[in-house]
Amino acid sequence: MADSTTLEHIRYRIRRDTHGAIQWFRDNWRERRWFRWLASLIAGGLLLLVIGWIILARDLPSADTLVDYEPPLPTIVRGIDGQIVHSYARERRVQLQYADFPQELIESFLAAEDKTFFSHGGVDITGTIGAAFDYATKFSSGERAVGGSTITQQVAKNILLGDEYSVTRKLKEMILARRIEGVLTKPQILELYLNEIPLGRRSYGVQAASRAYFDKDVGELNLHEMAFLAILPKAPERYGRARYEDLAITRRNFVLDQMVANDFVTAQEGAAAKAQPLGLKPSRSAVPSVDAGYFLEEVRRLLMAKFGETAEDGKNSVYAGGLWVRTSLDPELQLAARDALRGGILRYSAGKGWSGPIAQIDVSDDTWQSQLAASPLGISYKDWRVGVVVERSGGSGRIGFSDGDTAPLTGMPDALKAGDVIAAAPVGSSYAVRSVPEVSGGMVAEEPATGRVLALQGGFDHRLTDFNRATQALRQPGSTIKPFVYATGLDQGMTPATEVPDQSYCFYQGAALGEKCFRNFGGGGGGVHTMRWGLEQSRNLMTVHIAMDAGMPNVVRTFERLGIGSYKPYPAFALGAGDTTVLKMVNAYATLANFGRMHSPSLIDYVQDRRGKVIWRSDKRECARCNMAEWDGTAMPRLGASGRQVMDPRTAYQVVHMLEGVVQRGTAVRVASLGLPLFGKTGTTTGPTNAWFIGGSPDIVAGAYIGFDKPRNLGGWVQGGNTGAPIFIDFVKATRDRWSDEPFVAPAGVRMVRIDRQSGRRVFDAWPTNEPKASVIWEAFKPSTEPPRATRQDEVAAKRNEILELIRRGRQVNAQAAAVTRKREVEAKADFVEEQGGIY
């Protein structure tokens, strides 16, 4: 009863007071003009405030998006050993958790930017009033007013709004700051801020800036270094430059004083930090990078095709997704491939004179430095540098570099002129012109068992041109394609001991093309020889005979099955007239070394998102029970075989075994100097326009070619053996510890039989030796294709006839000797009689 009476009393008081207030307003409205004006002004102001609020707030992004906000992060690339080798980044970004930031670093930023951060609700009224007053005093002066933004407001600006300089943006920033404080905790806001704040040198966030300015992680920073980072949000591009060092020290010391005033550090610690120099390091790459530009650019291209380039293309894009990419790049093999290919290119180009400028730029004004700095041109070879000829007068000239330095230029060719971008090397106090070879080439190294590309070099230097000759240049493979012609012949019933004519072959190609006649490289020919000899000596005529006997449709199907290319069934393609790439040819040879099981060549092993989840992998095999929490006591899980069986493993081994002979005594005999069990094949195309070598071991297969980008004659002396093979030799010598002494092993179903190397006939009374040109060798045959044992009788009969012939000849010799002896005896007796006076 009492509660009801109290409630009724409260209602009565509300009605009474409300009625009184209304009546008071009505009385004043009727009787006082100034009251009417004041009330109207207040109402209008409130109305404008509501309308303005609606206009400003209606299109603002939701603060809730920051709860799951993922900053754009670069893609990090690792090599085959897991070490970081590169990053795809247009900005330096590293994301840390709040617990990863040192407390003194947090306090440095609070002292510099927002000392009341933990007490305000997103907007600091005092700071805002000061900023408004500063804006009013600087209005129309062209100067930028003090921002007065809290850390929360800066988060709203950096992530949600942008850096527009206007009152409207400032009001939106304040609205969003209040909303952010409602959805995020103070530590979460600080974490976003310290990870996203732009700090110069293309760095976003304190960890990236710590690396950019001091080459340290945030946990390694000293107090004076933390205070320096805290001054950067005000003017990152100013304080980070050497010419503004005094301003930077003054501002840093102010921050240290604020830290002392706020009891973040002691006065002694602050004084010690103020006594330190800035200690800035020169700007350098955020991530160490292996000189593997062609390989890494190919990886980038593949990633962009799968995941897109920017955040607009998807959450796992290359330049925003924060991907972790494990590649098959082997830094040791990559650098060896680069140097080996360069060595081959330079050997060919030696003594051929200046090849012309790399590019040309306008040097008629003072913009040559910015033009050169903006270009991607560069070179990483010895002490060479890329520069531009800024002036030339007769025999004297000057070269300028992207850093603005200039120097005298010597050794200038007659054709050199101002504006030419060239390579030069220091000689004393000047620079001498160097010739970047016009000829180029490509090289690839692959792991046969998996198809992983271990090294890939697409030219002399990727900074000069990004055209990748290992993957993009279509070249004629020449004789390097012959092993696959022979493989087709073996599949069609031939053997390495099959005798093939080394004789002219003409082919009628139809009324339009007429008759085509083939010849051996260098001419010559004649006789009949084994398939092995034909491959070892790279005989064109024998190859064409094998191709036509096996059927050209079958030959081109072999090419297509091994990924070399799709060609018409014309005999010229059996000699390497079709176009292909180094990568495709090396992969085909790797298939031979892998017993006919082919893998698609891969540069990327797997890709993880920013949280470590694998989102793509090249090995698609499933491993049942691999992720069991506990071992169930059964046999270990086993992955199935990878790749596709595209060739009879016995055929593949037979070809490899013959290609070992190419190295031991054939066109690639100089490779035998390495003293390793290797197989390989040289290749020289008509002209010659390309010089090739492809070969390797059971563990690594590598191949390279040299040629002009627009194919033209390299010179009559050029062959795969003297130009292509030395590149491979240099590659192996530089990585000798990576090459096993284990020989190739024959697969099941192969019979090793002793044969005469020249005739291909079976041998029973001799054994092979280690001599490369031994008359008896081991040859690989499929069951029931080896020379039949019936030849034993022929050998016995031949040996019997040989013995009988020797006996017959021996008897003749004995008879002749006996006759001579009798004659001599008769003559001796006659002489004796004559001496005795005719009496006997």
Judge residue 403's burial from the number of C-beta atoms within 10 Å of its C-beta, 0-12 exposed, 13-18 middle, 19 or more buried.
exposed
Residue that is written with structure tokens 């494990």 in the block = 326
Give yes or no for a contact between 151 and 113, defined as CB atoms under 8 angstroms apart: yes
Distance (Å, whole) CA 517 – CA 550? 19
Q: Is 230 left (phi over 0), alpha (psi -120 to 50) or beta?
A: alpha
| Strand 84-88, strand 430-434: pairing | unpaired
* Helical H segments across 598-746, by residue range: 649-665, 725-734
Distance (Å, whole) CA 147 – CA 133? 11
Give yes or no for a contact between 532 and 658, defined as CB atoms under 8 angstroms apart: yes
Find residue 262's DSSP bridge partners: none
**Which two three-digit tokens encode residue 552?**
């050209």
3-state secondary structure 303-353: HHHHHCCCHHHCCCCCCCECCEEEECCCHHHHHHHHHHHHHHHHHHHCCCC
Residue 325 makes CB contacts below 8 A (sequence gap 6+) with 75, 76, 77, 78, 299, 303, 604, 606, 607, 608
Residue 25 CB neighbour total at 10 angstroms: 12
Percentages (nearest 5) of helix, strand, coil residues in the chain: 45, 15, 40
Active site residues: 113, 479
Helix axes 186-196, 206-214, angle to 10 degrees: 40
**Which two three-digit tokens encode residue 52?**
């303005």
Find residue 705's DSSP bridge partners: 442, 692
End-to-end CA distance of the chain: 189
Residue 577 CB neighbour total at 10 angstroms: 16
Residue 285 CB neighbour total at 10 angstroms: 12
Which stretches does DSSP call E strand in 547-654?
A: 597-598, 604-608, 614-617, 644-645
Q: What's phi and psi for 393, nearest 5 deg?
A: -140, 105
Judge residue 554's burial from the number of C-beta atoms within 10 Å of its C-beta, 0-12 exposed, 13-18 middle, 19 or more buried.
middle
Distance (Å, whole) CA 727 – CA 704? 7
| E strand or H helix that includes residue 398 | strand 396-400
Distance (Å, whole) CA 759 – CA 789? 16
Q: If you write DSSP's letter for every residue of 356-394 in order, what string do you get? A: --SEE---SSTTHHHHHHHS-----STT-EEEEEEEEET
- Whether the upstream peptide bond of residue 688 has omega within 30° of 0, thus cis, is yes
Distance (Å, whole) CA 684 – CA 666? 14
Distance (Å, whole) CA 73 – CA 315? 10
Residue 673 CB neighbour total at 10 angstroms: 10
